[in-house]
Chain A
């Protein structure tokens, strides 16, 4: 019963938020407490790797909509709880209107609904709800740059969902059901059926637009860097992962392998390239999200159970440190009077110490220094013996990330008498799990069986990558490179979707 309550109660709370400003804050607090309690209960109930399944409205899978609390949902719910707490603590100082809190409730309700969803069309509707809510939140402050970013986001996401819908139509035509596990059963019976590649391409490309895979994701950097701070944190930390969740569910049913490898590799490399030469902090974080989505997709492409566990692990870690980085970046930019690196460096004494510390912790985690969050998750991905190609992409991305984040080094000089931040609690909520990530994951997700040891080889590898990144920064860091912006224009993005579709179709032999 709890499964249906988890998303639906959030929607009810969202409507209640309209009663007024103070009510909306209370409602948000109540919503957080309830979710936290329910999540803990569900985590305890599924400690042994069990899943909970119910049919909504009492109907079986072939008639109604089935929701299930499985390993994926179990992995994400603590992340949702932590990120929500951090965002609420941060927003307390921002004086947001009831509309903000209402949209936040809707967003989280949709996130939970998606984590539980097992039905293709249900996922479509939830993704659209997510798109619309995040679209509103991105442009919440009504600045023209935000509005334009949102508009691009909306158009591209809508195109993606149209393709997804055609895929759903094909699948329904051949299987007569929309339930993913039933479809999986039918496909296992006839894995050679000719319609499967075509349907797969349509589904995967559609979802990839939402998930932010390059060629399909030109909206992402604009939207994530233009949004208000808390929203950037939520979008990058959580909402973008929802696309990955759907991709994961699809990849468990449909054979995808090579397609995802290609898309993931391109995304990871291009993302990190643009991140390395971004001029402002928020924009760099947004591009780095792009590259890490590529990382996750590569993990999905490996496809073994250990790799999936690694993907979940990395998704959680990334949610934590990217959330932290975005929150801190927002405050730092405001304190320094601008988010560009030169502005941040010039006014670094104006940035509160807690903010700098949060940025520092986040940076250490994102470059994968042991034993922080990034390392634990990355080691889980490395441990599943990827092919040399995937391995090479991993290395390039790690070095590139270290290179990109080396631009933050001037901020990290220790100094006395810096200003105090009033958002320390928000940072602490995210920083503590990042610092103690390995014990955190082991206790929270015992069913995932994560590879968590500090293997010497991996430690050396990660330190080596960071060192390589720093060296690169010494040599190349001063050079200003202008990468083509056209890649991220609306018209080019549509072409990108079409080309990515064709590439995927060729790789899957749908032609």
Chain B
């Protein structure tokens, strides 16, 4: 169940990145895509009857696999890092072009390149 939800979230995120033209919303959707993949990873380590993987002696109790959880900690931080940077880049683009519409930005960048000549 949790794995399926993760995949669905990933799908929603991808569609939103492709359809919504506002760059800020695109970034939110990217966050959703990443969150979906992370949910998948957490889901595979879990079993309904499991315990939390914090225990001194763990032989006789069944607990959730700690490895995916440890991996996910890294992944969450990495995704935050990417989002923060991407947001800053959007801010710079807005400062330059006064729009967050991706098509619009694409046109304006193209126009700048055509006018200014590429290096």
A120, chain B: closest CB distance, angstroms: 10
The minimal Cβ–Cβ distance linking A174 to chain B, given in whole angstroms, is 9
Contact of A494 among B17, B40, B93, B106 (CB under 8 A): B17
Q: How far is the CA of A150 from the CA of B89 in the complex (A)?
A: 8
Contact across chains for A339 and B117 when beta carbons are under 8 A apart: yes
Residues of A within 8 A of B41 (CB): 165-166, 168-169, 172
| Complex Cα–Cα for A154 and B83 (A) | 9
- Given A166-B37, A338-B119, A491-B18, are A144 and B106 neighbors across the interface (CB < 8 Å)? no
**B109 interface hit (Cβ, 8 Å):** yes
CA distance A494 to B14 in the complex (A): 7
B16 (CB) vs chain A CBs: closest residue:
A494
Q: Is A145 within 8 A of B109, CB to CB? A: yes
Min distance, Cβ A72 to any Cβ of chain B, angstroms: 24
**Interface contact A159-B89, CB-CB below 8 Å:** no
Q: Which of A310-341 contact B (CB under 8 A)?
A: 330, 333-334, 338-340
The A-B contact count (CB < 8 A) is 131
8 Å CB contact of A166 from B26, B40, B112: B40
Q: Do A280 and B89 touch across chains, with their CB atoms under 8 A apart? A: no
Contact yes or no, A169 B74, CB < 8 A: no
Question: Which chain B positions have C-beta within 8 A of A469?
Answer: none
Interface set, chain A 141-158, CB cutoff 8 A to B:
142, 144-145, 147-148, 150-151, 154-155, 158
Chain B contact residues, majority secondary structure: helix
Bound complex: CA of A147 vs CA of B7, how far in Å?
30
Q: Are A147 and B93 in contact (CB under 8 A)?
A: yes
Q: Which of A162-207 contact B (CB under 8 A)?
A: 162-163, 165-166, 168-170, 172-173, 178
Most B Cβ at <10 Å: residue of A147, A163, A498: A147
Q: How distant is the Cα of A246 from the Cα of B85 in the complex, in angstroms?
A: 25
- A162's partner among B36, B67, B92 (CB-CB below 8 A) is B36
B117/A162 in contact, CB under 8 A: no
Q: In chain B between 10 and 32, which residues have their CB closer than 8 angstroms to a CB of chain A?
A: 10, 14, 17-19, 21, 23, 26-27, 30
Residues of chain B lying within 8 A (CB to CB) of residue A45 = none
**A225 in contact with B18 (CB, 8 Å):** no
Chain A count of residues within 8 A CB distance of the other chain: 50
Cβ-based interface call for A353 (8 A): no
Across-interface contacts of B109 in A (CB, < 8 A) = 144-145, 148
B86 touches A491 (CB 8 A): no
Contact of B119 among A148, A150, A333 (CB under 8 A): A333
- B44 at the binding interface (Cβ < 8 Å): yes
Judged by a CB distance under 8 angstroms, whether A495 is at the interface is: yes
Question: Quick one: given A144-B92, A148-B93, are A495 and B118 in contact (CB under 8 Å)?
Answer: no
User: Residue B102 contacts which of A178, A279, A490 (CB distance < 8 angstroms)?
Assistant: A490
Which residues on the B side are within 8 Å of A173 (C-beta)? 44
Query: If A491-B102, A494-B18 touch, does A165 touch B37 (CB 8 Å cutoff)?
Result: yes
Task: Give the shortest distance, in Å, between B17 (CB) and chain A (any CB).
Answer: 5
* A139 and B88 alpha carbons, distance in the complex (Å): 12
A165 touches B38 (CB 8 A): yes
Q: A283-B118, A340-B118 are contacts. A128–B92 as well, Cβ < 8 Å?
A: no
With most chain A CB atoms within 10 A of its CB, the pick from B43, B92, B97 is: B92
**B93 pairs with A144, CB closer than 8 A:** yes
Could you tell me the distance in whole angstroms from the C-beta of B103 to the nearest C-beta in chain A? 8
A74 CB to closest chain B CB (Å) equals 29
Most-contacted residue by chain A among B103, B117, B119 (CB, 10 A) = B119
Beta-carbon contact of A162 and B68 below 8 Å: no
Q: How far is the CB of B105 from chain A (nearest CB, A)?
A: 6
Nearest opposing residue in chain A for B19, CB measure: A491
Task: Tell me whether A169 and B40 are in contact in the complex, defined as CB-CB below 8 angstroms, given that A158-B34, A340-B118 are known contacts.
Answer: yes
Query: A178 → chain B, closest Cβ, in Å?
Result: 8
B50 CB → nearest A CB, Å: 15
A282 to B113, CA, bound (A): 13
The answer, among B23, B26, B44, for a CB contact under 8 Å with A169, is: B44
Report whether A148 and B44 are in contact in the complex, using a CB–CB cutoff of 8 Å. Answer: no
Q: List 21 A-B contacts (CB under 8 A).
A: A132-B85, A139-B89, A144-B92, A144-B97, A145-B112, A147-B92, A151-B90, A155-B27, A158-B79, A159-B30, A162-B33, A163-B10, A163-B37, A165-B37, A166-B6, A169-B43, A170-B44, A172-B67, A280-B119, A282-B119, A338-B117
